[in-house]
Structure 1
Amino acid sequence: MLRQQIASALGGDVAPPAVLLDAAHRYESEQRAVAYIAVGATAAGAVPSPTDEQLQAFFNAHKITFRAPEYRKITALALTPAALAPWVQVADADVKAAYDRNTARFGTPERRAVQQIVFSNADEAQQAADKIKAGETFDQIAAARGLSPKDIDLGTVVRSDLIDPKIAEAAFSLPLDGTSAPIPGAFGSVLVHVTKIDPAQIQPFEQVQDVLRKELALDRARRELLDKHDSIEDERGSGATLAEIAQKLGLQTETIDAVDRSGRDPTGAEIRDLPGVADVVAGAFATRPGVETEPVQLPQNGGYVWYDLNEVTPARERPFDEVRDQVLARWTEDETVKAVDAKAKQLLAELQAGQPLVQVATSAGLEVKTAQNLQRGRAASDFSADAVAKIFDVPLNGFGLASGTVPAERIVFQVTGITVPQVTPAEQQAAARIGQQIETDLLLQYLAQLRSQIGVSVNERLLQQAIGAGTN
């Protein structure tokens, strides 16, 4: 009780200061509007061609950037359904049988508009059928039984939509405007009538046989995959090379002459053709030449890839002449960024000197754009999250400079509006949580002060009694 009274006296019903709540609300909810100019490489102008001395100096200062990474030469044998399929023979009869089983896949099935009247017994159904033969229409029979067109309409259906197979067979055997004989059904005798026929649109066998043949070959290849896997493992165990195994089993190896740790060749192009290439490259960089490696198992039962590491080319320093084009491209990129930055700072200085934004933009051949409802920490259109943060560092009607969404772009902006929305219910709940945190902080500070003034001691006898120590 005493503890509760002390805690209540220290922090009970603490109301967070209005200044704190206002600052938190503004930080979370404040929105800003800006007018801005996007300064890119075109606005900065063309970068002059460098001299050989400039390029050499740039190369010397950034040698590590142009260093050749370690490369590895790999021989791989991929065992996948696609690799096995060309060797699988599929008979013409099997292809035709697969087509006949799946005709609906190669077009749209026949659809029919069907009506149905259910009779309580076979005699009533037969009497109605006789009247139709005598000249009455199906609709007249329905109307005489008090049924509306909606009551007898089953809609436009395919055969599989009709649950009763006898009704489905009858409905899809009738000619247009034909009426069936009485059909025994689950709820009585039935007459069906066909008012419309949309014929099936099926691609002929000749147009799809090649696709079907490949699919059947792939399916059979998947079933043969494990047998081939065991054969390859047996050959590996006997000491055969991947090239020898491929020749014996009718497969093909692939050789990657040079690949770096990131999966790229010396031109910088990413190696893509080999299945499971990321795992193969990672494994190749974790082994040594001459060491047998475990095969890579492809996801979703997609096959296996065996690989051998043939050769390691160590990382090296590239001479300037070998990478001159790369040095030139990198130098040009850096100088373009510097030029864009200088141009943006020039425009910012003109604005800060008092020139209107539109005038500054027009003189530079640029367009003034606007953005609304920008919020802290949220990227929007031309503004990264860092750029938005800079906007919130500038006062109303002030000017600023921020990086664009690409390296060679700068945003010169003016803050044109600041809006603080009304406090929402969620923020009111947050205010209550802040109050609770203040209560907790006050109590913790009080306890810390008591410990520093009074100290803490332990009554060993009572502690031993409480935990049951020393008792038999």
Structure 2
Amino acid sequence: MSQKLRNKKGKNTVIWVLMALMVAGLGGYGVTNFGASIGAIGSVGGREVDLRDYARALNQEVRAMSAQLGTPLTFAQAQQFGISGRVQAQIFAATALDGEAADRGLSVGDEEVRRQVTDIQAFKGLDGSFDRDAYKLTLRQEGLTEAEFEVRLRADAARGLLQRAVVGAAAAPETFVTSVAGWANETRDFTLAELIAADLDAPVEAPTEEALSAYYEAHPEDYTRPETRHITYVWLSPEMVQSEIEIDDATLRAAYDARIDEFVIPEKRLVERLVFANEDEARAAKARYDAGEASFEQITSERGLALADIDLGEMSKEELGDAGEAIFAMAEPGVVGPLPSTLGPALYAMNGVLAAQETTFEEARDTLLPDLTIDRARRLILDRSEGIADVLAGGSTLEQVAEEQKMQLGQIDFSAETSEGIAAYAAFRDAAKQATADDFPQLVELEDGGLFALRLDGIDPPAVRPLDEVRAAAVADWTRAETHSRLLAKAAEVQAALDNGGTLATLGLVTTRYDGFARSGHLADLPASIAERAFALEDGKSGVIDAAARVFVVQVDAVHAADPAEAAALADSLKPRIAQSIAGDMLDMFTTALENEKGVTVDQAAINAVHAQMQ
């Protein structure tokens, strides 16, 4: 389905592509700097497609896409979403409609053009009225004269008349809407059985050597050893230098004092606060609560709020301000007030007491010491990193670096499957994948503050492992595949029995029955294809479902027509959407016919010039 003019809703195209740029900051991407020799990117029936209009439309689409994604996009990034093709289709279609409107003599009067110009927000002054100076300045910054802009505005209004004439009679066919609503709200009763290995007539035997060899040779990708890189590395981690670190009591005490809020937590209360406009309202609500006429939750709900909206969470006495004394005087959960708050008189619900917690310095020692030690270790490694880098730059081998700098020397056979030891670090894996035999070892920092450097010693290309090496895996794979194949054959037998008048319940299978299941229903822990198949079958029919290595048989027991009231409600909600879709299709087909009739030419060099300016 064409998307040439979708979602425009008859809006003025000039305003769409131009005014947004004016409001957003004017111009961009060198819109006016194409030179006098290039004026159009093509034509429709001899009517040129203005190059600047195309540039503005592209600019607007990039801005809109950036806003939608929440991050600024370059033109190159936007191109990956097919932006240029979409905008070209839209602007060529608009030109075709402009030409047709002109051929049919459609136009609007000066008064309508004046109304549209004076209604545009970008042309208004500080007092909200039309400002001619702002009008002239804005157009000049966009490289347009007043006459050019008003001609385009008039053409856009005429195009709008044509578009409304084309789609004005679009309506959703009643029969189609009713059918869709009935189809969507139909429900079914069906019985489901999953076939498992225990349902087979005999267990699957061990594979013969011939069968195993044939399976192994037919699935080489399952038994291929990935590329293996033989790597030598040197590594220094914070844990490796911990023995060199000593932390004295004064340092530990200073760290304890700096983190005192973590170790000394005052007594707190779980509090909800409901604020009122004045104290009389608060007192009246409290009286209702005390009399048992309404719960605190009901009073909150009457204010259009939920308890989550007024929940303050854990609060200390100091955090509650002037209300703290009264709330902390409560020994049991309850409601107190009216009490003052920064927002006005309030009722407070105290829902729990959290006792004060204090971790002494001696108790916190076991938490502080490892943290400080690791932090010092990272700093020590950072201090040593420059010296290690100098040694590497001087041409020392990794073996020499390890000995001189007290680093760990190791070898690893690295592949895409390796994730142990130093290969657990993403930085090492990335470096190992990219290393070449000609690379000079470089010092790289790890996520935990450690350092490493590596050398590629050799590469073993991917190779199929010998059968004897993967025999156990191959046997397991063959057994699964053979079991699945026999289950499908068994399912076919079950379906044949069902077609002859049987039912799943009488065939000795474990079954589950679903009554009144809706087309939009969900089967927990089961493939979605089950429901899809159940709704594709006729009443009384059955089917086999092969889904994600599991085999099912489903039998439809009954088909229930949609509830008339529910179907009618759905039909009412579908009508405008279906009508809009039909209108869009009609406009797309009409525009395509115009383009075919009038003929379209495209100047790719001009288009490339626009794209080059926007890079």
- TM tier, shorter chain? 0.5 to 0.7
CA contact (8 A) 1:34 1:415 kept: yes
Q: Which residue is 2:411 aligned to?
A: 255
Q: CA deviation at 1:338?
A: 1.0
Of the two structures, which has the highest relative contact order with CA contacts closer than 8 Å and spacing of 6 or more?
1
CA contact (8 A) 1:35 1:416 kept: no
Q: CA deviation at 1:209?
A: 1.7
CA contact (8 A) 1:295 1:305 kept: yes
Cα gap change, 1:448/1:396 in structure 2, threshold over 3 Å: closer, same or farther? farther
1:280 is aligned to 2:422: no
1:292 is aligned to 2:435: no
Work out which of the residue numbers 162, 173, 176 in structure 2 matches 1:17. 173
For residues 332 and 358 of structure 1, what CA distance do their matches in structure 2 show? Answer: 28
Whichever residue aligns with residue 414 of structure 1, its letter is V
Summarize deviations over 1:366-403 as a string: whole Å, max 9, x none.
13242764546x86324323343323321233211213
SS in 1 for 2:453: strand
Work out which of the residue numbers 206, 217, 223 in structure 1 matches 2:379. 223
For residues 10 and 67 of structure 1, what CA distance do their matches in structure 2 show? Answer: 61
Cα gap change, 1:110/1:20 in structure 2, threshold over 3 Å: closer, same or farther? closer
Whichever residue aligns with residue 554 of structure 2, its letter is V
Aligned-residue identity in percent: 24
Q: CA deviation at 1:442?
A: 5.3
Q: CA deviation at 1:47?
A: 0.9
Structure with bigger gyration radius: 1
For residues 74 and 32 of structure 1, what CA distance do their matches in structure 2 show? Answer: 61
CA contact (8 A) 2:189 2:513 kept: no
Q: CA deviation at 1:335?
A: 0.7
1:322 is aligned to 2:462: no
1:412 is aligned to 2:412: no
For residues 485 and 411 of structure 2, what CA distance do their matches in structure 1 show? Answer: 43
1:66 is aligned to 2:223: yes
Q: CA deviation at 1:295?
A: 4.9
Q: Which residue is 1:464 aligned to?
A: none
Summarize deviations over 1:285-324 as a string: whole Å, max 9, x none.
333335225555545x755443222332233333332222
Q: Which residue is 1:313 aligned to?
A: 460
1:443 is aligned to 2:590: yes
Q: Which stretch shifts more, 280-289 or 428-437?
A: 280-289
Cα gap change, 1:330/1:290 in structure 2, threshold over 3 Å: closer, same or farther? same
For residues 261 and 462 of structure 2, what CA distance do their matches in structure 1 show? Answer: 59
Q: Which residue is 1:338 aligned to?
A: 485
Q: CA RMSD in A?
A: 4.0
Cα gap change, 1:440/1:228 in structure 2, threshold over 3 Å: closer, same or farther? same
Summarize deviations over 1:216-247 as a string: whole Å, max 9, x none.
11222343443233232112112233444344
Q: Which residue is 2:543 aligned to?
A: 400
Cα gap change, 1:246/1:413 in structure 2, threshold over 3 Å: closer, same or farther? farther
CA contact (8 A) 1:374 1:380 kept: no
Unaligned runs of 5+ in 2: 1-103, 107-157, 270-313, 329-352, 602-615
For residues 111 and 368 of structure 1, what CA distance do their matches in structure 2 show? Answer: 52
CA contact (8 A) 1:290 1:310 kept: no
For residues 198 and 12 of structure 1, what CA distance do their matches in structure 2 show? Answer: 67
Q: CA deviation at 1:284?
A: 2.4
Cα gap change, 1:71/1:432 in structure 2, threshold over 3 Å: closer, same or farther? same
SS in 2 for 1:396: coil
Work out which of the residue numbers 373, 381, 386 in structure 1 matches 2:524. 381
Q: CA deviation at 1:325?
A: 1.6
Aligned positions of 1:116-265 closer than 5 A: 161=319, 200-256=356-412, 258-260=413-415, 262-264=416-418
Cα gap change, 1:293/1:238 in structure 2, threshold over 3 Å: closer, same or farther? closer
Q: Which residue is 1:180 aligned to?
A: none
Q: How many residues align?
A: 368
Q: Which residue is 1:49 aligned to?
A: 206
Q: Which stretch shifts more, 286-295 or 337-346?
A: 286-295
Q: CA deviation at 1:214?
A: 0.6
For residues 445 and 196 of structure 2, what CA distance do their matches in structure 1 show? Answer: 48
Q: Which residue is 1:75 aligned to?
A: 232
Summarize deviations over 1:252-299 as a string: whole Å, max 9, x none.
34432x232x233xxxxxx14336644433432333335225555545
Q: CA deviation at 1:328?
A: 0.9
